[in-house]
Amino acid sequence: MSKKTIGKDPKGVKKTKRLSLEASLQVLGETLQKNNPEMLVTKPIAPKTKSNTITHGKKADNVQLPIWSEARRGIPNDLVRGALFTVGNCRTERAFRKNITIATLSGVDVAYTGEELRQDDEDVFLQLVHLARLIPLGAPIQFTAHSLLKSLAWATNKPSYDRLKRTVQRLNATGLEISSKTGGYSGSLIRDFNWREEDGSSSRVWTVQLEPKIVSLFGHVKYSQIIWEKRLELGNLAKWLHSFYYSHAQPYPMKVETIHLLCGSTTKSRAKFRQLLKKSLNELLTIDFLMEGSINKVDDKVYVTRA
């Protein structure tokens, strides 16, 4: 570091004092310019002020999601305690919903506009949020379609590329109104999506942006961290149950009829749905997410115990 002579002590030893980094750069620049007048010397960059720091709060200039490990995916509890992401399958046409009230647990109200969302939409949303957690919310999230397909364990062929593009477009064309005792959110799941070059051709790198205010859904104890690899092993109903029970530290018994409503199932036969539910509970037992999962024949309630 640069030192400046300010005199000698009685013993003839030079006294020095340290200059600030900015002053040192200024001295260096002046020296370089004196020795080489044609050299362009730029001004030192001022250090960032506190107002530019990234914080987890509403009043900060830049907000950022909580940080979780690579093995997990964060999801707001308010999004998985009802039929926002249904258990519909690819063989049935998606319905368009205009400002409809989503079936949810009591304590939270969700109004939704957009094409029906399913578990594959939740998979993509989970992965995009996972990428967004490392940068300020609202900043561009860039990725290749190939890398996203790999992370989703989807095939890397043209039908999958087209499916992925449609899914992100569907998440982009959404409108949510969420209100609860702890706050709420109004906006889309994805604010912006760009997959084209300036000339209109498909880009290798895709870009999405999230709404910065979506951070309000990721407050303390308001979101869950799902083990990603376990989720990828599950079918649609099992995925819904996985997310739903992750949002409850101690799940309570719930009627089969209630779960049928909350998951958005279109299975008309209650007996058939009960069979699907038993199969899905066994999937959660197999991946060691549940220690117990059964349907009581007396009260027709689902009893589960998390591992």
55, part of any domain: no
Tell me: do 285 and 142 sit in the same domain.
yes
Torsion of CA 198, 199, 202, 207, to 10 degrees: 0
Question: What is d(CA 158, CA 66) in angstroms, rounded to the nearest whole number?
Answer: 34
pLDDT digits (tens, 9 = 90+) for 178-206: 998 888 999 999 999 999 888 888 899 99
Which amino acid appears at position 268 of this protein? K
Whole-number Å distance between alpha carbons of 130 and 188 = 17
How many domains are contained in the chain?
2
- Indicate if 241 and 120 belong to the same structural domain: yes
Could you tell me if residue 281 is inside a domain?
Answer: yes
Average pLDDT over residues 100-126: 97
Query: Residues 78, 11: one domain?
Result: no
Residue 58 in domain: no
Report pLDDT for 45: 33
30 and 90 belong to one structural domain = no
Helix, strand, or coil here: 201? coil
pLDDT at 11 over 70: no
Tell which wins on pLDDT, 61 or 159. 159
Domain co-membership, 11 together with 132: no
**Is 152 part of any domain?**
yes
Per-residue pLDDT, 61: 59
Residue 43 is given by DSSP the state P
Higher pLDDT, 218 or 19: 218
State the pLDDT at residue 199.
87
On whether residue 57 sits in a domain, the answer given is no
Residues 128 and 265 in one domain: yes
Residue 148 and residue 250 in one domain: yes
In this structure, are 76 and 170 located in the same domain? yes
Mean pLDDT to the nearest integer, 88-103? 93
Nearest-5° Cα angle at 126, 121 to 131: 130
Q: How far is CA 182 from CA 81, 108, 185, in A?
A: 15, 9, 11
Assigned domain for 54 exists = no
Which DSSP letter does residue 9 get?
A: -
Identify whether 95 is part of a domain.
yes
The better pLDDT of the pair 6, 110 is held by 110
Q: pTM (2 decimals)? A: 0.80
Measure CA 74 to chain center. 6
DSSP 8-state class, residue 47: P
DSSP assignment string, 51-108: GGSEESSSSSSEE-PPP--TTEEEEEHHHHSBSSEE---TTSPPPEEEEEEPPB-TTE
Q: What is the mean pLDDT of the chain?
A: 85
Please tell me whether residues 73 and 209 are part of one structural domain.
yes
Q: List all residues 6 or more positions away from 302 whose beta carbon is below 8 Å from its beta carbon.
A: 253, 254, 255, 256, 259, 277, 281, 293, 294, 295, 296
Q: Are 281 and 244 in contact (CB under 8 A)?
A: no
115/227 same-domain check: yes
Domain that holds residue 235: 65-306
Residue 60 lies in a domain: no
Give the per-residue pLDDT at 18: 47
Residues in Cβ contact with 161 at an 8 Å cutoff, skipping those fewer than 6 apart: 145, 149
The verdict on 207 and 234 lying in the same domain is yes
Q: Are residues 129 and 32 in the same domain?
A: no
